[in-house]
């Protein structure tokens, strides 16, 4: 396993890390060594989670070794010099701030959901650090294996039932935890939540309480981050923070979780239910008290001995006073509600005699009452239960009452709480934290170490476009006043319909909200747009329930992998389940369409008050966000999270389509993730956007490795693209083509990988397709030669050869040439008998012809029609001639499909009575020779059409000089100056290797490797 040393810490990585990964891991180690907080953004697909785990656990190894060496030295025994030296080195790598005597900390790794934690644990299993002790925390709802408790539908009741059985020692699974905690599988394997539950069922122990045992001596603990940010949950799970490291992965939601943890809601119906429940218990208690031995009867009914009727009277009086206080609040008649400062909550509670001094007494009474409730046998779920467990009708279910919302608008409270509990370092990381300055400002905790990492993908792997208008020219703007306009909804539907036809495989469409998505769905179903989209791609809509969502996702993936389908379309909502935590790698998500800016509902009281709070804070402290800035940030962060679904790894590719004209505002573009900003193009017309997307996917499918599709035995349907432009290769700066560092600076493994990458690139570059000719302007004569670039330079171009393919012999009897008209985009098949005009000649050249003659002949350009190409037989050297307007025309588009492999066969079907023209790869020895000869001629043709007349003269002179002197360095310098300015000419530089003498080719490959390495880094 490769190992890199970062900040003095050796990190073992499953593969050779990229530069962005090294940078990221260095920042993580920097946070740990210095004991400071860090906020690190690295785009999805850069291996962020793997880097986070490897760097953190590598540092932990050093810290544990440093602690052990210190303990050995301090034991009083004679210490060898090498051990003292080793201890000093370990101390430096671990960081001076930790001190010698501090025990190694625990790593508390948190993420938003358990599915994200499972993915992180899967990554950990891939590393060499999987030997470390691991614990994962979860809820009883997820981990309980008790046959009775696990079936309880009410989660709160399930918690109380569990606590009761544990307290009374009536849960067999809990009693087995101590005996089974040293099971080898628990200590020697990394278990995620599902693994632990399965093992608990197998060995008959409680996974929930086993996880709490395992965390005591675990090196790394995985848990959802609301377990950390919610003080009640943190206390309930016994999470120790003193001296430990906290990592928040997928931290873009930390702000909201901090606010939610400090917020609460009280309904008047809840208070009424509490009063009703207490009343029922009081009645039961009165019935019991009629017996001679109250204590004995109470005990038989499940009452604790220390429970008294006065406790119930006190509690009921408290609830009645609180209900009265809530009812006395004066509300406006328009239903908008009233707003009060946060301190009003304490005034309200004080009216019910609920004060800080009486808090402990009230909690004690509530705990007793809850205990009475859950001691009774469980009844069937559904319907309300009274204080003794007897099912009763609930007359308050349909009552509409008042709602008191106590909202926290400062997420800094939750983060400060963590900092003050003795945490050594807090690391926040995600793929979408931009803009980082505003993010840290809201958290109000210093983050001295920051990083905004670029993406590892290249320009040809991602397409980002802002489409301002639909196919009908209607402006795409999902603002509140437009979103209900039938013209807007129709134009948006037509936009998605057109894109769905050219985007391969999976398509994700995100709406600002569920109401907007439902409105569009209904309108499109009525207008027929829905059915038209479904013809090409079955449509799935994001459900709002967990079970339905899982089923929809499974069906979506099945359609993607079904070779009889052209993919599938998933309609979802920004900030919904699909927008984060799910992996749409490769074919599962080739494009994401954002239909509008997902601003929070501007009339929502919470949104209004949040903006008001921010404005007041800014006026008071002269710093922080404005309300409007926060409002826009909420939209941009939701967009950043949604677009991150597409590019999931280094070989992935996809398109990001922003269908709202407001995206083009400079202020909004600045808030998009840094890695997509360089690729943004604004399209005021729909046609150019369609054209560029087609070109993007055509290039990506040609240049990048394609994932294998899962077959179910049905024929596959593939999406192919007609080609009319040269492939656009990744942009390489001029600096990348300057003289690189000495070869010894590049490791052998890097050289090997670069050579393999360039070899694959060369395979694509060696495929000469018609898309190159479509841009070449005037028709040039392509001739046979001896395979030498020197011979090819002297020839006139008269025949275009498509991929060195020949025409089937059965179709050659009546046809000798095909003319392609660029402007009319037609192909004419011309009969021999009708041929009268001579277009050019094909001559077989002597390989020893003079170079001077070659260059002179090359300068004699033929004055052929700029609109015509001619395809001649590759097996003849005779003149081919003539055109006939009466002959059958074929669409040029059929010739403009790039071959996917050397074994490709392209059939052009003729209508009427004309024969079928088949273009196939040559297989005979002579055809192979023709292929080589025409490849040389094609290269010369492309160079000549790509360079200006002056630069082409320099090219010819350089080639002539190289033939005479074999001066490698001079020819490479000249080629570099000719081809670096235009990224589309870089492959011409790379393809020149075939014309170098054998001894110079390895040096040329090394030169290209150096350049590519600079580009990647």
Answer yes or no: are the C-beta atoms of 506 and 568 closer than 8 Å. Answer: yes
Beta strand pairing status for 680-683 and 462-467? Answer: parallel
- CA dihedral sign, ordered 232, 234, 238, 244: negative
pLDDT digits (tens, 9 = 90+) for 141-182: 889 999 988 888 778 888 888 988 898 889 999 999 988 888
Spatial separation of the C-alpha atoms in residues 760 and 846, rounded to whole Å: 33
Band (512; pLDDT cuts 50, 70, 90):
very high
Which residues, 6+ apart, have CB-to-CB distance to 809 below 8 Å?
Answer: none
As a 3-state breakdown, the chain gives helix, strand, coil percent values, each rounded to 5, of 50, 10, 40
Task: Identify the H or E element spanning 683.
Answer: strand 680-683
Answer yes or no: are the C-beta atoms of 591 and 499 closer than 8 Å. Answer: yes
What single string gives the DSSP state of each residue in 14-62? Answer: SS---HHHHHHHHHHHHHHHHT--EEEE--TTS-HHHHHHHHHHHHHHH
- Least Cα distance to 220 among 140, 129, 142 occurs for 129
**Residue 97: count of CB within 10 angstroms of its CB:** 13
DSSP character for 743? G
171 carries a ligand binding annotation: yes
Q: Tell me yes or no: is domain 459-703 CATH 3.20.19.10.
A: no
- Number of helices (H), then strands (E), in the chain: 38, 29
What is the pLDDT of the chain when averaged over all its residues?
74
Beta strand pairing status for 868-872 and 815-821? Answer: antiparallel
Spatial separation of the C-alpha atoms in residues 516 and 848, rounded to whole Å: 73
Spatial separation of the C-alpha atoms in residues 106 and 122, rounded to whole Å: 20
Three-class SS of residue 647? coil
206 carries a ligand binding annotation: yes
Answer yes or no: are the C-beta atoms of 495 and 471 closer than 8 Å. Answer: yes
pLDDT digits (tens, 9 = 90+) for 232-265: 888 888 898 989 999 999 888 899 899 998 898 8
Burial level of 35, CB count in 10 A (0-12/13-18/19+)?
middle
- Least Cα distance to 353 among 312, 314, 406 occurs for 314
- CA dihedral sign, ordered 670, 673, 678, 679: negative
Same fold, 1-132+238-252+425-456 and 459-703: yes
pLDDT at site 96? 53
Spatial separation of the C-alpha atoms in residues 532 and 522, rounded to whole Å: 14
pLDDT at site 172? 92
pLDDT digits (tens, 9 = 90+) for 760-782: 443 333 333 333 323 333 333 33
Choices 2.60.120, 3.40.50, 3.10.590, 3.40.220: CATH for 1-132+238-252+425-456: 3.40.50
Q: In the chain, pLDDT over 90 holds for what percent of residues?
A: 27
pLDDT at site 762? 38
pLDDT at site 839? 31
Answer yes or no: are the C-beta atoms of 222 and 56 closer than 8 Å. Answer: no
Q: In the chain, pLDDT over 70 holds for what percent of residues?
A: 68
Domain boundaries, the chain: 1-132+238-252+425-456, 264-326+353-406, 459-703, 757-1016
Which pair of tokens denotes residue 976? 């570099």
Q: Bridge-partner residues for 654, per DSSP?
A: 462
Spatial separation of the C-alpha atoms in residues 938 and 874, rounded to whole Å: 14
Spatial separation of the C-alpha atoms in residues 924 and 935, rounded to whole Å: 16
Answer yes or no: are the C-beta atoms of 657 and 591 closer than 8 Å. Answer: yes
pLDDT at site 488? 94
pLDDT digits (tens, 9 = 90+) for 416-436: 888 888 899 999 999 888 778
- CA dihedral sign, ordered 988, 992, 993, 999: negative
Spatial separation of the C-alpha atoms in residues 338 and 403, rounded to whole Å: 11
Q: Cα separations (Å) of 67 from 33, 71, 98?
A: 14, 6, 10
CA angle 769, 771, 773 (to 5 degrees): 90
Q: How many residues does the chain have?
A: 1017
């Amino acid at each position: 396993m490769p190992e890199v040393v970062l900040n003095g810490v050796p990190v073992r990585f499953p593969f050779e890390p990229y530069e962005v990964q090294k940078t990221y891991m260095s920042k993580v180690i920097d946070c740990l060594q210095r004991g400071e907080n860090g906020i690190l953004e690295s785009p999805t697909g850069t291996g962020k989670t793997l880097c986070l785990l490897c760097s953190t656990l590598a540092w932990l190894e050093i810290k544990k070794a440093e602690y052990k060496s210190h303990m050995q030295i301090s034991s009083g025994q004679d210490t060898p010099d090498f051990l003292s030296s080793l201890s000093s080195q370990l101390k430096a790598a671990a960081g001076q701030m930790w001190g010698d005597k501090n025990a190694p900390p625990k790593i508390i790794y948190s993420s938003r959901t358990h599915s994200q934690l499972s993915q992180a644990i899967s990554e950990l299993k891939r590393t060499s650090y999987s030997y470390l002790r691991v614990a994962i925390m979860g809820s009883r709802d997820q981990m309980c294996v008790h046959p009775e408790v696990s079936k309880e539908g009410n989660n709160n009741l399930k918690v109380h039932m569990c606590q009761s059985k544990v307290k009374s020692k009536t849960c067999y699974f809990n009693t087995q935890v101590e005996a089974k905690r040293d099971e080898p599988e628990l200590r020697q394997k990394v278990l995620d939540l599902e693994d632990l539950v399965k093992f608990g069922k197998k060995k008959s122990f409680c996974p929930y309480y086993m996880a709490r045992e395992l965390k005591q001596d675990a090196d790394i603990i995985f848990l959802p981050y609301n377990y950390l940010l919610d003080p009640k949950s943190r206390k309930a799970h016994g999470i120790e923070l003193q001296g430990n490291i906290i990592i928040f992965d997928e931290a873009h939601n930390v702000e909201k979780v901090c606010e939610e943890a400090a917020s609460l809601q009280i309904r008047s119906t809840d208070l009424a239910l509490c009063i009703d429940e207490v009343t029922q218990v009081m009645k039961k208690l009165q019935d019991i008290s009629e017996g001679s031995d109250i204590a004995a009867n109470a005990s038989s009914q499940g009452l604790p001995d220390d429970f008294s009727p006065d406790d119930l009277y006190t509690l009921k009086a408290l609830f009645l006073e609180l209900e009265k206080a809530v009812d006395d609040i004066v509300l406006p008649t328009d239903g908008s509600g009233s707003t009060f400062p946060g301190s009003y909550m304490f005034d309200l509670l004080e009216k019910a005699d609920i004060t800080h001094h009486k808090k402990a007494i009230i909690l004690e009474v509530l705990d007793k009452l809850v205990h009475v409730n859950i001691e009774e046998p469980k009844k069937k779920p559904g319907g309300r239960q009274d204080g003794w467990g007897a099912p009763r009708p609930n007359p308050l279910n349909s009552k509409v009452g008042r709602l008191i919302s106590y909202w926290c608008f400062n997420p800094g409270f939750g983060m400060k709480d963590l900092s003050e509990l003795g945490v050594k370092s807090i690391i926040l990381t995600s793929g979408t934290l931009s803009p980082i300055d505003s993010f840290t400002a809201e958290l109000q905790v210093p983050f001295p170490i920051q990083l905004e990492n670029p993406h590892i993908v290249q320009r040809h792997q991602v397409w980002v476009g802002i489409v301002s208008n639909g196919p009908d020219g209607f402006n795409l703007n999902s603002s509140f006043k437009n979103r209900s306009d039938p013209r807007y909804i129709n134009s948006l539907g037509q936009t998605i319909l057109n894109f769905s036809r050219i985007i391969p495989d999976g398509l994700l469409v995100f709406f600002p909200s569920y109401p907007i998505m439902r409105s569009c769905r209904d309108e499109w179903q009525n207008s027929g747009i829905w059915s038209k989209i479904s013809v090409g791609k079955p449509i799935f809509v994001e459900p709002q329930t967990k079970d339905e969502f899982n089923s929809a996702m499974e069906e979506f993936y099945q359609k993607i992998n079904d070779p009889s389908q052209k993919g599938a379309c998933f309609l979802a909502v920004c900030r919904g389940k699909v927008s984060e935590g799910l992996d749409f790698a490769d074919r599962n998500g080739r494009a994401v369409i954002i239909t509008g800016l997902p601003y929070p509902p501007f009339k929502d009281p919470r949104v209004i008050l949040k903006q008001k709070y921010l404005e007041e804070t800014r006026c008071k402290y002269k710093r922080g966000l404005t309300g409007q800035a926060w409002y826009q940030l909420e939209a941009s962060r939701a967009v950043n999270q949604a677009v991150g679904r597409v590019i999931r790894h280094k070989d992935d590719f996809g398109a990001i389509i922003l269908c709202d004209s407001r995206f083009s505002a400079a202020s909004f573009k600045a808030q998009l993730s840094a890695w997509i900003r360089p690729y943004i193009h604004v399209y005021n017309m729909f046609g150019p956007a369609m054209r560029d997307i087609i070109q993007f996917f055509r290039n990506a499918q040609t240049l990048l490795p394609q994932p294998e599709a899962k077959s179910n035995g049905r024929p596959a349907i593939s999406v192919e693209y007609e080609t009319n432009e040269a492939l656009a290769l990744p942009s390489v700066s001029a600096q990348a083509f300057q003289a690189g560092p000495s070869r010894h600076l590049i490791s052998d493994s890097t050289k090997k990988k670069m050579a393999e990458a360039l070899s694959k690139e060369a395979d694509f570059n060696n495929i000469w397709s018609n898309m190159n000719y479509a841009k070449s302007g005037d028709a040039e004569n392509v001739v046979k030669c001896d395979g030498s670039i020197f011979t090819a330079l002297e020839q006139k171009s008269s025949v275009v050869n498509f991929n060195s393919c020949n025409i089937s012999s059965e179709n050659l009897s009546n046809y000798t040439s095909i003319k392609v008209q660029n402007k009319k985009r037609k192909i004419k098949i011309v009969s021999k008998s009708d041929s009268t005009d001579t277009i050019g000649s094909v001559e077989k050249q002597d390989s020893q012809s003079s170079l001077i003659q070659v260059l002179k002949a090359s300068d004699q350009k033929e004055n052929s029609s700029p609109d015509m190409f001619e395809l001649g037989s590759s097996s003849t050297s005779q003149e081919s001639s003539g055109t006939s307007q009466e002959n059958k025309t074929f669409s040029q588009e059929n010739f403009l499909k790039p071959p996917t492999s050397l074994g490709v066969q392209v059939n052009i079907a003729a209508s009427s009575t004309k024969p079928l023209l088949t273009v196939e790869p040559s297989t005979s020895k002579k055809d192979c020779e023709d292929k080589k000869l025409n490849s040389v001629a094609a290269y010369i043709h492309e160079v000549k059409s790509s360079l200006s007349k002056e630069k082409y003269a320099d090219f010819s002179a350089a080639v002539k000089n190289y033939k005479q002197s074999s001066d490698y360095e001079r020819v490479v310098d000249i080629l570099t100056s000719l081809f670096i300015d235009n990224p589309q000419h870089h492959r011409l530089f790379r393809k020149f290797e075939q014309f170098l003498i054998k001894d110079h080719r390895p040096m040329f490959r090394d030169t290209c490797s150096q350049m590519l390495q600079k580009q990647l880094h």
